[in-house]
Amino acid sequence: MNSIIHLLPDHVANQIAAGEVVQRPASVVKELLENAVDANASSITLLVKEGGKTLIQVIDNGTGMGDTDARLSFERHATSKINSAEDLFRLHTKGFRGEALASIAAVSHVEMKTKTDDEDLGSHLIIEGSSVVQQEPCVTPAGTSIAVKNLFFNIPARRNFLKSTTVEQKHVIDEFQRVALVHPSVAFKLIHNGSELFNLPVANHRQRIVGVMGAKTNEKLVPVKEETDLIKLTGFVGKPEFAKKSRGEQFFFVNDRFIKHPYLHHAVCSAFEGLLKDKAYPSYFLYLQVNTQSIDINIHPTKTEVKFDNEHAIYSILRSSVKHSLGQFNVAPVLDFNKDSSMDTDYGQNKTTAKIPSIEVDRNFNPFESETKLGNKAFHIDSFKTKSTASWESLYTETGEDQDDLMDIEVESEQISPSLFQAQSPTYQSSGTFQLQRKYIITSTKSEMLIIDQHRAHFRILYEELLKNITAQPALSQQLLFPLKLQLDANEIRVFKVLKESLINAGFSISELGKDFVKINGIPNRLPESETSILLDQLLSDFENDIPDSGFDQTDRLAKSLAQSMAIKNGSVLQKEEQTELVNLLFSCKEPMLTPLNRLVFIKQSAADFDKKFM
């Protein structure tokens, strides 16, 4: 019988291998940068176009390759870094599998120029889908330049799978940062679509971290240092008060290699226990050196996972060193970030003695009174000033009568908002409002009591309004007396540019957008100036990790973030007029029942429920 098993041709084998090594442009970036570092380059430039979809080029001044090596480097399992299996346990280089170039060449157009120091001429190679189509001598500086074009040109399914330029660019920046952070003695540049995003001179670790993450990082860093028989640990953790709500600034490097390790991540987080506000992640830049024989980095083709022999011991060392540093640098525990600041005593009152509280009762308050004093339009909290003053009672009338007249009419109409009192008696009687625990607004219809969460209600109102502003007419903004200057890192600048248009429509006015800062001279009407920088910081980090592709999703997310931050907080006292206005605005919303994040805005209790309770 004829044999049916045959060996796959090289180009097919390479394409299969490429599936593991090359997932997206960022994977190519990682491999090329690591090769340049392995070649002892002291200066590396990365040029990228359209998030790497059309071009990824790495230029280094490293050892370069001779003619034969240049051609061999694209063969599968061609490596200069190991000779025997034992070498796997003595690794001091990034690469060792000899797969990267072969895999990359299998799925793209590659052009390489390379020259060693002691030769006069270098080689110029052109490779398309695994085959060398040209090799000739050329004049080129010592070192290597590899350009990878049209990634996945021969695998349309994977090409279509690539995300938008912004998303791919974000991944490229991530990889670039990971390599740059661990090699401060190498100068790095990143140029995207012709503009320089990073220019990092040779530096020490701290300077490099600041160069990569932005100038404002410097004040946030607390050094960590520990040396035991097992590991040598150096690096920095971020002060807890700067912890962000998104992951991202978390870097472990083991023997100069970026790795992901949930268990060790947990060790660091546990050192922060009690120091972080809700759902915040600490940032860290930790460099571990361990004996090469005590780890296995061979378990994952992209080499971001390692296995340690002494995981538990490393866990404890890590946890206690981080704890120690936080303690030593006087990072005092902050136990309750959500504490209501309105409950704090004034400093001025610290020395006075406590008085016995007296109870004040509003004797004029009558929950059954059917009249409110809406005639009083003097409305002092800015947060409720709004163009829409349509009162929700008008939803229940057929005619557009003057609101003030409506107040003392019991409206019995068929025209009800279906979303509000479905299948219920269509009556609303303005009964007045009151606030419970600075948190809930209580009001009633003829047969029901409504308990409204004030923060969520305002969140809903602002969200609908912002959505309108961002998409249709730009919102009003308040001019700042002194423009606000925010330091941003390259990633934040990138996100800022994407969001710029929407931010302007939401009421921000931007006077200058520099390479690492932005100047803002106007902010949305309702946004307290003091909260602007925190809000933008949070907004940018929300978007940093996941920029929605479509314009609509982006607007929607922006409106949600802004509205949530701008909404009045629980714990704020609301005046009567503000309470009424809040209720009115809420019920002129399209979806008053739920917050934009689908949480309940109010609950209802019917008179019948009360009747039962009183039986």
Give least dist CB 43 to ligand ADP, A: 12
Handedness of CA 14, 20, 26, 31 (dihedral sign): negative
Question: Could you tell which of Mg ion, ligand ADP, none binds residue 98, using a CB distance below 5 to 8 A set by kind?
Answer: ligand ADP
Walk across the sheet containing 448-453 and list its strands. Answer: 434-436, 440-444, 448-453, 602-606
Question: Could you tell which of Mg ion, ligand ADP, none binds residue 210, using a CB distance below 5 to 8 A set by kind?
Answer: none
Nearer to ligand ADP, 100 or 395 (CB): 100
Give least dist CB 166 to Mg ion, A: 27
Give least dist CB 95 to ligand ADP, A: 2
HSE-CB for 597 with a 13 A CA cutoff: 13
Give least dist CB 285 to Mg ion, A: 24
Tokens of 578: 């503000």
For the chain, report the end-to-end CA distance as a whole number of angstroms: 92
How many residues appear in the chain?
615
Nearer to ligand ADP, 144 or 565 (CB): 144
Nearer to ligand ADP, 34 or 448 (CB): 34
Quickly list H helices, 368-443: 403-406
3-state secondary structure 321-337: HHHHHHHHCCCCCCCCC
Give least dist CB 276 to ligand ADP, A: 39
Give pairs for 192-195: CB < 8 Å, separation 24+.
192/48, 192/49, 192/51, 193/48, 193/49, 193/50
Nearer to ligand ADP, 144 or 532 (CB): 144
Give least dist CB 113 to ligand ADP, A: 11
Give least dist CB 567 to Mg ion, A: 51
Angle at 257 between CA 214 and CA 295, to 5 degrees: 145
Question: Could you tell which of Mg ion, ligand ADP, none binds residue 65, using a CB distance below 5 to 8 A set by kind?
Answer: ligand ADP
Element (H, E) at 15: helix 10-21
Question: Could you tell which of Mg ion, ligand ADP, none binds residue 254, using a CB distance below 5 to 8 A set by kind?
Answer: none
Question: Could you tell which of ligand ADP, Mg ion, none binds residue 53, using a CB distance below 5 to 8 A set by kind?
Answer: none
Question: Could you tell which of Mg ion, ligand ADP, none binds residue 393, using a CB distance below 5 to 8 A set by kind?
Answer: none
Question: Could you tell which of ligand ADP, Mg ion, none binds residue 255, using a CB distance below 5 to 8 A set by kind?
Answer: none
Nearer to ligand ADP, 172 or 488 (CB): 172
Nearer to ligand ADP, 77 or 355 (CB): 77
Give least dist CB 177 to ligand ADP, A: 20
Nearer to ligand ADP, 57 or 321 (CB): 57
Give least dist CB 17 to ligand ADP, A: 10
Query: Of 486, 490, 489, whose CA–CA distance to 512 is shortest?
Result: 486
Nearer to Mg ion, 95 or 143 (CB): 95
Using CB atoms, what's the residue nearest to Mg ion? Answer: 95
State the Cα–Cα distance between residues 253 and 317, nearest whole angstrom. Answer: 15
Q: What SS3 state is found at 379?
A: coil
- Tokens 């000779």 appear where? 83
Nearer to ligand ADP, 65 or 268 (CB): 65
Nearer to ligand ADP, 79 or 429 (CB): 79
Quickly list H helices, 218-372: 262-271, 311-328
Using only the alpha carbons of the chain, give its radius of gyration.
Answer: 31
Amino acid at 372: T
Give least dist CB 85 to ligand ADP, A: 15
Give the binding site for Mg ion (CB under 5 A).
Answer: 35, 95, 100
Query: Of 580, 583, 592, 588, whose CA–CA distance to 419 is shortest?
Result: 592
Give the binding site for ligand ADP (CB under 6 A).
Answer: 31, 35-36, 39, 60, 62-65, 73, 78-81, 95-102, 144
Tokens of 68: 């034969």
Maximum Cα–Cα distance across the chain? 104
State the Cα–Cα distance between residues 581 and 505, nearest whole angstrom. Answer: 25
Query: Of 466, 475, 435, 433, whose CA–CA distance to 567 is shortest?
Result: 466
